[in-house]
Every structure is written in structure tokens, then in C-alpha cells.
Structure 1
Amino acid sequence: MAMLLIPGFMLDADLWRDVEPALAEFGPIRHADLSQDGTVDDMARRALAEAPEKFALTGFSMGGYVARQIARQAPERVTALILIATSARGDSDVQVQRKAAIAAQDGSAVFKGLSTSAVASSLHPDNVTRMDLIGRIQAMGQRLGAEVFRRQSLLDRRDERGDLHSIRCPALVIAGEKDRLRSRAEAIELHHGLAGSSLKIVENTGHMIPLEAPDALAQVMGDWLRPQQRASQGAIAGKAPR
């Protein structure tokens, strides 16, 4: 089994740094690059072009939209799907208005870096003063820069709630106990929409689960992936010539 990890809005592969060691047992890990494209479809196509032939797929937040599109574009290649702190809802009225405001500005005026208050709002209340976490998130945003901020801010997120049934691979939905950016109701919608999926809540964390609770997240992912790995290996063995 190989794994493809997809980050969220203005995040890069460093999002997964503390989770990766515990996932090594499941095979080589690849990272999707969401910095080059302006649509979910194009992000999914680029990720697929660079992905292993078959892989377990994990998408965080915005990356969950990309992960689901990958599962639709190449269902025969995705062996398992993990969705973390994400949603199937389309843009709210507030988000539409925010996009319009960003679209009306030039690139230099749009992005000055991720503010401390904005980053803190994504964390568990107990973590809002943790400058190690805040600084790490801000550093990822700075690496990506103004052009990526603009593209990702204007990304169209369609409402997928009526289309989740088209994804047929085994799926796990993970939510943070105190996620203030994505509600528990959104996680439950995903869980109910993805036939046969599992739902797990990670305690004592906000939205940024891979950074706030990497050990707990790795355990949840590992406990779910091991049966998927055994099933995949068993299917391969059953097809082998005797």
C-alpha cells in the first residue's frame, strides 16, 4: 500500500511531518502539490499524474475536496479514502462575498501573510497561545505566497452532498472535537453520504488535527488502515496464479 497525502488551504507537506513516521508501515508516502492550479479538477489531475498506481488517499480540509475528486476521476486506483476536518458543502454566502472582495483586489494587496488571529481561530482553545503551532502554519503560508493565496481563495467548492454516493471505496471521516472552522454536522454529513464509512472524533484538538494531535491522529488512521491493508493484500493473493 502507498499513501498520498493532500494538504489544506495555504498549507504544504510540513502539515504531515509529525504524522508521517507512524504511517511508514503502510508503504511509501507521496504529497500532492495544490499550489499550481486554480480548480479542484486540475488539482486532482495533477495529483493523479504524480501518484502511485494504487494508493490510500488522505485529504485535509480543502484537500478533502481534491481527494474526493481524485476518487471520482480514478476510482480503480484509490484503495481507501481518509477525510480529515473537511466538508462536502459548497461556499456559504459569506465565503462568496469574501471571494468577490479578493477578486477585486490585485495580488499584492490581497496577501500580507496569515494573521496570528486568523491562525489561532483554527486551533483548539487551549492551543491559541502556542506560537510554535501558529508560527509553523504562518511559515507554510509564507512559502506558498500571494499568488497561491489568491488562487486558493478563489477556488470553487461545489456542494457535493448529493453526490457522495458515487464514491465507493472504503472511507474514514475524522473530525476535531473543538473544530471552529468545520462543524461536527459537516463531518456527520460526510459520514452518512459515504456508504459504509466510519466516523472518528479526535479529542482535545481544533481544526489543525495533524499539527495539534499528530499522535492521536496517526493512531486513528493506523487502526483503520491496517484492516484495509490486510484486505488489499488478501485480494492480491487471491488473484495470484496457483
Structure 2
Amino acid sequence: MTILLVPGYMLDATLWDDVRERLAPFGPLAHADLRHDSTIEDLARRALAEAPPSFILVGFSMGGYVAREMLRQAPGRVRALVLIATSTRPDSDAVRLRKRTVVKASPSVSFAGLSRTAIASSLHPRERDNEALIERVRMMGVRLGGEAFRNQSMVERPGDLHLLGEIRCPTLVIAAGHDGLRSLDEVREMHAAIAGAQFALIEDSGHMIPLEAPETLCDVLVPWLEALTSR
């Protein structure tokens, strides 16, 4: 069974490099391409068009919003759902203002990746001076480029808490204990709204769980996938 991995804002497929080896035994790994569209609906539509007929769906951060929209558009194709460090809440006014500022910037302005400050603020406090990790995240944005930056900055993240009761597939919700972007309350309310969902807290990580705590993430994912695939 293919595992379809959906990255977050200005992150590429290398987000998953440190978990790839332990996930590979469960089936081929595929990656959603979030470079080209500027709405959650269109991002989900493109990902579905490029995906196999059925798959296990894993969404990280913004990718969690895309993953849930994919499930709404094609519920019969999603065998199971994993939501990592994400939320169901809509963008705040401050976030909308920042996005509008990006969109208004000249397309000719060279894009050098997300700022060091923005990246560091998402990490566990002990990692905020980890220059190698910060550079790893920044370079994902550089590879995606300025057009993807503008496209993703136009994406409105609507609140969908009221729709979570429609989710019927096996679901695992994973939170970080030191997430500077998504509060534990946000993740717990999402978990509570999905019938039968399992929950895991990776206490010793910031928002970037696949980079900050890949082994612990796999320690959560692997048993869940083993139970799922043994059914």
C-alpha cells in the first residue's frame, strides 16, 4: 500500500528523509506536490490526480489541511489518515495579513527561503541555535522557489472542525510537546472530533517533528501501521 506524504508550508519531499527507511517496508512512498496551486481545494485535487488509486495519507502541518480535503474529495481512496502537527482552526488575522504582504511583493524579488527567525520560532527551544537544522529547512524553500512561495502564501486555511465527524477511516493524530506554531489544545480538539482516532504526543519536539524527532515519530508510526496492515 502506497504511503502518500503531504509536506507543510514551503517544505519539500526531503522533510521525510529521516523516516523513509523505517516506513519503506510498508509500501512505496509517494509525495504530494504543493508548488503549483493557491487553494486547499486545488492542492488536494492535484495531489489526488497524481496519486495511486488507494493509499495511506500522511499530512504534516499545512499538509494536514490538504490531506483532509483530499479525504473529502475522494473518501473511497484513502485507506487511513495520519495528521502530524496540524490543526483545524482557520488562519488568524495576523497570519492573513502576513500572507497578503507576501502576495503583494514583486515577483521579481529573489526568494532566499524562509527567514531564520521564522524557522527557529517553530523549533524546540534547544534547537533554535541549530544552524544546520535551520539551514536544512531554509533550503527546502529555496528549492521550491519564489513562485511556490507566493502560491502557498495565497492559500487560505479554512476552519474545518465541523467537518471532522465525516472522517470514517482509521486516523492517527500526532502532536509535539513544544510546538511553537500549533498549540496542544488545537491538536487535542482535532483528535476529539474524529471518531475512533488515536492520539500520540511527542513531548520532546518542536513543530518540525519529522526533522527534530524522526526516530520517535517512527516509534509511533510503525506499530500503528503494523496494526493497520495486519487487518
**TM-score normalised per structure 1:** 0.92
Gaps of 5+ in 1: 232-242
**Corresponding residue number in structure 2 for 1:95:** 95
Which region of structure 1 is more displaced relative to structure 2, 218-227 or 111-120?
A: 111-120
Q: Residue 178 of structure 2 contacts residue 205 of structure 2 at CA under 8 Å; is this kept in 1?
A: yes
**Corresponding residue number in structure 1 for 2:115:** 115
Matched to 1:119, the amino acid is I
**Corresponding residue number in structure 1 for 2:30:** 30
Matched to 1:168, the amino acid is R
CA deviations 1:100-155 (Å, max 9, x no partner) are: 32233222448442111111111101111111111110110101111111111110
Q: Are 2:78 and 1:66 aligned?
A: no
Matched to 2:160, the amino acid is E
Q: Residue 38 of structure 2 contacts residue 153 of structure 2 at CA under 8 Å; is this kept in 1?
A: no
**Corresponding residue number in structure 2 for 1:234:** none
Cα distance between partner residues in 1 of 2:110 and 2:178: 29
Q: 1:110 and 1:195, CA in 2 relative to 1: closer, same or farther beyond 3 A?
A: farther
Gaps of 5+ in 2: none
**Corresponding residue number in structure 1 for 2:52:** 52
Matches within 5 A, 1:144-223: 144-223=144-223
CA deviations 1:78-114 (Å, max 9, x no partner) are: 1110000000011111112222322332224484421
Matched to 1:117, the amino acid is T
- Compute the displacement of 1:74 (Å): 1.0
Matched to 1:6, the amino acid is V
Q: Which runs of 4+ in 1 moved over 3 A?
A: 108-112
CA deviations 1:15-72 (Å, max 9, x no partner) are: 0000010001211110110001111111111111121211110000000001001111
**Corresponding residue number in structure 2 for 1:84:** 84
Cα distance between partner residues in 1 of 2:113 and 2:222: 34
**Corresponding residue number in structure 1 for 2:8:** 8
SS of aligned partner of 1:205: coil
CA RMSD between the two structures: 1.2
SS of aligned partner of 1:215: helix
Matched to 2:179, the amino acid is D
Q: Residue 113 of structure 2 contacts residue 140 of structure 2 at CA under 8 Å; is this kept in 1?
A: no
Q: Residue 87 of structure 1 contacts residue 182 of structure 1 at CA under 8 Å; is this kept in 2?
A: yes
Cα distance between partner residues in 1 of 2:67 and 2:4: 9
Matches within 5 A, 1:227-238: 227-231=227-231
**Corresponding residue number in structure 2 for 1:238:** none
When Rg is computed on C-alpha atoms for both structures, the one with the higher figure is 1
Q: 1:189 and 1:110, CA in 2 relative to 1: closer, same or farther beyond 3 A?
A: farther
Cα distance between partner residues in 2 of 1:207 and 1:22: 21
Cα distance between partner residues in 2 of 1:96 and 1:11: 20
Matched to 2:125, the amino acid is P
Cα distance between partner residues in 2 of 1:167 and 1:159: 15
Q: 1:111 and 1:199, CA in 2 relative to 1: closer, same or farther beyond 3 A?
A: same
SS of aligned partner of 2:114: coil
Q: Residue 110 of structure 1 contacts residue 150 of structure 1 at CA under 8 Å; is this kept in 2?
A: no
Which region of structure 1 is more displaced relative to structure 2, 93-102 or 71-80?
A: 93-102
Cα distance between partner residues in 2 of 1:64 and 1:5: 10
Q: Residue 2 of structure 2 contacts residue 56 of structure 2 at CA under 8 Å; is this kept in 1?
A: yes
Cα distance between partner residues in 1 of 2:77 and 2:163: 19
